[in-house]
């Protein structure tokens, strides 16, 4: 008696050992039906998390304010200068508009209302002052290149200096002037108080010098003494939001300036920026809520065996 034999099903291919799991393979090979609600929840959660990781990993091409603004300005005798100044290796976003320092042949200069000044000294401690002398008067008292000495809103004069009016080429000898050195623009010069009216035959420039007497009075015996008084310079105080920067530095941040918002910003060691300080970013680094983005993967939320069987819930 013959027996009917049913065909034998071919065996399933053996499972490859140590097969690497990834999200794309999972979606293609899963055979168990999932409810649409669960699938939508999974897709939404995955895409949301991917976006979270993306915005928290700094781009390699983004501006690193912490590193850039940690650089100091160094030029000749002016060294270790930081916020609120910028220039010569410090990007403009590291300092205030109008506080741009330049360096040429170890000489530091700054421009204020169209006049170039040599910076003789910068005091970034409590005083926050600059000692300045007009660049065109540093070597030649009778060859001015710029207009009158004026300040903008970034600065105030420090007490102890006074405006002086220099009168050039006056035809009258009543002004008590001195002969200028040979080869200069004008032939003679006289120094008077700024309130002194300018005779119609004279040309004039207003400059600032230190007031040695404290009374707004001065006396020069010759043109050399006048040149020396001008060359010593005068002090100005620069006006910035120091308290905000001190708060930033106190949390290991580096100060910069947002030119668009016109406010001080705090650049933090993790390459983020804050409005006042780095306390929030430092706390996030010291106490992370989620695993590090470098080691995080989908299996942290969905173990492979549960995902493969469609049993993991969110």
Q: Which residue ranges make up each domain of the chain?
A: 50-74+241-314, 97-163+203-238
Report the C-alpha gap between 30 and 40 in whole angstroms.
15
* Exposure on the CB side of residue 281, measured as CA atoms within 13 A: 18
Nearest to 273 by CA among 248, 295, 246, 250: 248
Question: Tens digit of pLDDT per residue, the chain (314 long)?
Answer: 444 444 444 454 555 444 444 443 433 444 444 444 444 444 444 444 444 444 444 443 356 889 999 999 999 999 999 999 999 999 999 999 999 999 999 999 999 999 999 999 999 988 899 999 999 999 889 999 999 999 999 999 999 999 999 999 986 555 568 899 888 999 999 998 888 898 888 999 999 999 877 776 677 888 889 999 999 999 999 999 889 999 999 999 999 999 999 999 999 998 888 878 998 655 544 444 434 333 333 334 444 444 444 544 44
Report the C-alpha gap between 311 and 302 in whole angstroms.
10
pLDDT at 201: 87
Q: How many CB atoms lie within 10 A of CB 99?
A: 21
For the whole prediction, is pTM greater than 0.75?
Answer: no
Contact partners, residue 155, CB within 8 Å, separation at least 6:
112, 130, 236, 237, 238, 239
pLDDT at 262: 92
Report the C-alpha gap between 241 and 257 in whole angstroms.
10
Contact 264, 241 (CB under 8 A): yes
pLDDT at 126: 82
């Amino acid at each position: 008696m013959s027996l009917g034999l049913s065909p034998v099903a071919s065996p399933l291919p053996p499972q490859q050992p140590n097969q690497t799991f990834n999200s794309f393979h999972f979606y293609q090979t899963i055979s168990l039906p999932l409810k649409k609600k669960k699938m939508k929840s999974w897709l939404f959660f995955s895409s949301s998390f991917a976006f979270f990781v993306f915005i928290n990993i700094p781009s390699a091409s983004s501006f690193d304010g912490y590193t850039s603004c940690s650089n100091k300005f160094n030029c000749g005798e002016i060294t270790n200068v930081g916020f609120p100044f910028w220039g010569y290796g410090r990007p403009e976003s590291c300092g205030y508009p109008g506080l741009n320092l330049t360096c040429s042949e170890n000489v530091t200069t700054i421009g204020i209302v169209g006049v170039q000044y040599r910076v003789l000294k910068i005091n970034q401690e409590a005083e926050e002052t600059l000692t300045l002398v007009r660049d065109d008067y540093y070597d030649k008292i009778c060859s001015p290149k710029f207009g009158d000495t004026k300040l903008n809103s970034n600065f105030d004069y420090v007490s102890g200096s006074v405006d002086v009016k220099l009168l050039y080429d006056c035809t009258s000898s009543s002004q008590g002037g001195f002969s200028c050195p040979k080869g200069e623009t004008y032939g003679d010069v006289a120094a008077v108080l700024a309130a002194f009216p300018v005779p119609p035959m004279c040309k004039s420039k207003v400059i600032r010098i230190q007031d040695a007497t404290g009374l707004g009075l001065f006396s020069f015996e010759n043109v050399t003494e006048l040149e020396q008084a001008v060359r010593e310079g005068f002090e100005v105080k620069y006006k910035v939001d120091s308290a905000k920067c001190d708060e930033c530095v106190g949390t290991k941040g580096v100060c910069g300036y947002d030119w668009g918002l016109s406010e001080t910003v705090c650049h933090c060691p993790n390459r983020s920026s804050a409005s006042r300080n780095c306390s929030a970013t430092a706390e996030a680094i010291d106490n992370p809520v989620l695993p590090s983005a470098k080691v995080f993967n989908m299996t942290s939320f969905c173990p492979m065996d549960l995902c493969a069987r469609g049993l993991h819930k969110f």
